[in-house]
Amino acid sequence: MTVIFLTSAEFWADQLVNGLTTGSIYALIALGYTMVYGVLQLINFAHGEVFMIGSFAGYGVLVAMGGDDTSGAMIALALVLAMIAASAASMGTALAIERIAYRPLRNAPRLAPLISAIGVSVFLSHLVDDGFLTGRSKYYPSIFPDGALELGPLTISALQIFLMGSSLAMMGGLWWVIQRTKLGRGIRAVAESRDNASLMGIDVNRAIVVTFALGAIMAGVAGVLYGLFYSAIRGSMGFIPGVKAFTAAVLGGIGSVQGAVIGGYFLGLTETVGRELLNEIPGVSLPNQWKDVVAFSLLVLVLIFRPNGIFGQKETKRA
């Protein structure tokens, strides 16, 4: 066992980089879950589909800009436009969902908005899969330049650097909006107490809409990054990353923005490195799909032993 550890430093370095890469996608999506939960105490089940719509919008732009043949400076332009289009499409979807499926149910029993969220999720993923794609996947054009950075045992591809860099930039931007702007202050106040915020003259509806919009922008960018990294996209693609991102949000303490980011990276690392570590045990061989089992088991364990999240402090049990 130790022998394998010593000889394959590169292998573990690869796993580390892969973990951080998937982790940053989880973190971006998790932000949307945690923020909406913060203001509405609602699990936005359709968030995975908001992410999916963003990914398709980005795909459309990249194909329109020349697909696989895009070259030179056009690549950068295409990527920026794809992300803008993805954010806009995701935002439009999220706001429509909020208006149609959530707002009429804001004072309904708890189960009602949850079920309507599941309805939206089923509707959107099957609309894309059965309505437009008829079961086939679409493939992102592979326009990103090859090349890699080598740091000792670490090999990071240019795409991975771009992915981690742009997700960090997005998170930085979000942090600035939440902590430094008047809009952000409104959101924080509504998350604290909707009634009190309303008494203080904050437009609660607007704060809720902005929360959905910000979460959707993060999800849209995550959709483009996911497409660039994994290539195949389809209508049902939002399901697993959505559940994983929710897990990440719970890990970090749902409702907490920093928690979602930490939870995302933590989950990304655990499921790649964790599965490989389990594989190190003699006689155990876990195929790639067991990643999901690792992630879900982690969710159940956290809910049993630390229902406030590994990093959370606030009382969320029976809130």
Residues near other proteins, by CB under 8 A: 40-43, 100-101, 104-116, 118-124, 126-127, 130-131, 193-195, 239-240, 243, 246-247, 250, 287, 289-290, 292-293, 295-297, 299-300, 303-304, 307, 317-319
Query: Shortest approach of other proteins to residue 316 CB, angstroms?
Result: 8
The residues near 208 (Cβ < 8 Å, ≥ 6 apart) are 39, 40, 98, 190
CA 67, 121, 166: angle at the middle one, nearest 5? 45
Question: Is 43 or 233 the residue whose CB approaches other proteins more closely?
Answer: 43
Place of tokens 């070259």: 71
CB atoms within 10 A of CB 42: 19
- Shortest distance in whole angstroms from residue 122 CB to other proteins: 4
Dihedral sign of CA atoms 206, 24, 220, 53 in order: negative
- For residue 210, the minimal CB distance to other proteins (Å) is 18
Going by DSSP bridges, is the β-strand pair 232-233/154-157 parallel, antiparallel, or unpaired?
unpaired
Half-sphere exposure at residue 251, Cβ-oriented, CA atoms within 13 angstroms: 28
With left for phi above 0 and alpha for psi between -120 and 50, is residue 231 left, alpha or beta? Answer: left
Of 121 and 167, nearer to other proteins (C-beta) is 121
Number of Cβ within a 10 Å radius of residue 85: 21
When the beta carbons of 105 and 269 are compared against other proteins, the nearer one is 105
Q: Which is nearer to other proteins, 49 or 70 (CB)?
A: 49
Q: Which CB atom, from 296 or from 311, has the smaller least distance to other proteins?
A: 296
Do 34 and 259 form a contact (C-beta atoms < 8 A)?
A: yes
Identify which of residues 228 and 245 has a Cβ nearer to other proteins in the complex.
Answer: 245
| Cα 91 off chain centre by | 14
Closest CB 253 distance from other proteins, rounded Å:
13
Name the minimum Å distance from CB 105 to other proteins: 6
By beta-carbon proximity to other proteins, the closer residue of 105 and 168 is 105
Contacts 24+ apart (CB under 8 A), 109-114: 113/42, 114/42, 114/43, 114/45
